[in-house]
């Protein structure tokens, strides 16, 4: 896919105030750790995650998505009357129906002609939303659109802790399938796209590729829908090692097509922002793609895996700190269970102030 008329105007984020360390989670897992004879410090040692954040109990995704989009409108100065599409694309949503995007749209007072819907595709949902909005802009159907999402990790993490402590028949191998659930963190992110005439930044979305290894779709699954409005004991089971290998393999397979689509060589990639899984995944990915990991901006050690909003939050923080400079070619590398890859390239020019 290639774009000529689409600018990626801004990445905007909202983070919870409550910080939960891996050491605190292990303290809550004391009964399971003692029964399985697991050493303290194991969670951070294996994952590289020191802490993550949680929203207050009962927080609905739409509440934080509204705040994040409002911030995005202020940052970009975009007239909300020009927003032609709003896509809510996180795993977590308020209810199965209506769409979470509908509630966000109502509270933001966006136009009635604005296309509104949810997208769900594990950790690449927001990247899929970016592609859909970019396509609409490129076709001239709309002039601006926003993809937003909010992930809430508290229910999954707390239910996993409860399950591991209460289920006394679990073996170490069985308990390991819950490891990925304990790495999850919460956050909210929005990505604003506009046509070139509206853009204040000139951050041109050049294009990219999508790739699927659906033969690996059974390696991670949740036993409960991602909506949290009705409660429920949300649990997620993951073959972490196999999922990491399959995700990296998918990246290896699609990387040549990504370079070809953008007419880049590996040396043309100046900065990368990737989905945040863990230390081992990041190391293996960059070794496999034969890229220098110094071009990448990691956040997993202090935010955990925030699902579909991990990549845009990481990009927002990276741009905010000056990690990417004007003229840099930036690769956005999204990976999600399924296994799906969405990789996009941006010619970055301007970072708007995050607090206008």
Instruction: For residue 250, give the nearest of 203, 200, 214 by alpha carbon.
Output: 214
Please give the span between the terminal C-alpha atoms of the chain, in angstroms, as a whole number.
33
What number of residues does the chain have?
Answer: 356
| 123 carries an active-site annotation | yes
Pairwise CA distance, residues 356 & 354, whole Å: 6
Give the three-class secondary structure for 39.
coil
Cα–Cα distance measured from residue 72 to residue 170, given in angstroms and rounded to the nearest whole number: 45
Under DSSP, the state recorded for 178 is T
Give the active site residue among 97, 166, 174, 260. Answer: 97
3-state secondary structure of 336: strand
HSE at residue 55, side-chain half, CA atoms within 13 A, is: 23
The encoded tokens of residue 333 equal 């590398």
3-state secondary structure (DSSP) of residue 197: coil
Give residue 241's Cα distance to chain centre: 20
Classified as helix, coil or strand, 249 is helix
Which is the catalytic residue, given 7, 92, 114, 123?
123
Helix (H) or strand (E) holding 194: strand 187-195
The DSSP result for 313-330, as a single string, is HHHHHHHHTT-S-TT-EE
> Is residue 97 annotated as a catalytic residue, yes or no?
yes
Q: Which residues contact 49 (CB under 8 A, 6 or more apart)?
A: 22, 43, 183, 278, 279, 300, 301, 304, 305
- 136 sits in which H/E element: helix 125-138
Q: Which residues are catalytic?
A: 97, 123
């Amino acid at each position: 896919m290639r774009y000529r008329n689409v600018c990626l105007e801004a990445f905007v984020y909202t983070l919870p105030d409550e910080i939960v360390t891996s050491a605190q989670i292990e303290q809550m897992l004391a009964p399971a750790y003692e029964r399985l004879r697991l050493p303290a410090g194991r969670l951070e040692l294996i994952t590289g995650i020191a802490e993550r954040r949680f929203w207050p109990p009962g927080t609905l995704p739409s509440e934080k998505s509204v705040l994040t989009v409002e911030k995005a409108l202020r940052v970009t100065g975009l007239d909300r009357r020009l927003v032609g599409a709003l896509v809510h694309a996180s795993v977590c949503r308020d209810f199965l129906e209506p769409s979470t995007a509908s509630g966000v749209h109502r509270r933001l007072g966006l136009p009635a002609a604005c296309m509104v819907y949810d997208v769900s595709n594990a950790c690449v949902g927001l990247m899929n939303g970016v592609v859909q909005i970019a396509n609409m802009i490129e076709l001239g159907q709309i002039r601006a659109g926003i993809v937003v999402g909010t992930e809430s990790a508290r229910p999954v993490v707390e239910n996993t802790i409860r399950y591991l402590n209460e289920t006394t028949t679990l073996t170490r191998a069985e308990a390991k399938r819950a490891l990925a659930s304990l790495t999850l963190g919460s956050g909210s992110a929005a990505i604003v796209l506009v046509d070139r005439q509206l853009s204040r930044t000139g951050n041109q979305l050049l294009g990219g590729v999508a790739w699927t290894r659906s033969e690996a779709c059974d390696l991670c699954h949740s036993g409960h829908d991602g909506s949290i409005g009705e409660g429920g004991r949300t649990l997620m089971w993951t073959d972490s090692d196999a999922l990491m290998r399959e995700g990296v393999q998918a990246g290896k397979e699609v990387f040549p097509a990504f370079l070809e689509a953008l007419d880049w060589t590996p040396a043309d990639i100046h900065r990368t922002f990737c989905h945040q899984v863990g230390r081992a995944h990041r190391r293996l990915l960059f070794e496999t793609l034969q890229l220098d990991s110094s071009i990448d901006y990691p956040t997993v050690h202090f935010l955990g895996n925030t699902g579909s909003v991990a990549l845009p939050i990481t990009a927002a923080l990276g741009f905010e700190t000056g990690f990417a400079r004007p003229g840099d070619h930036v690769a956005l590398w999204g990976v999600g269970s399924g296994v799906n890859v969405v990789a996009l390239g941006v010619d970055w020019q301007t970072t708007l102030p995050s607090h206008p």
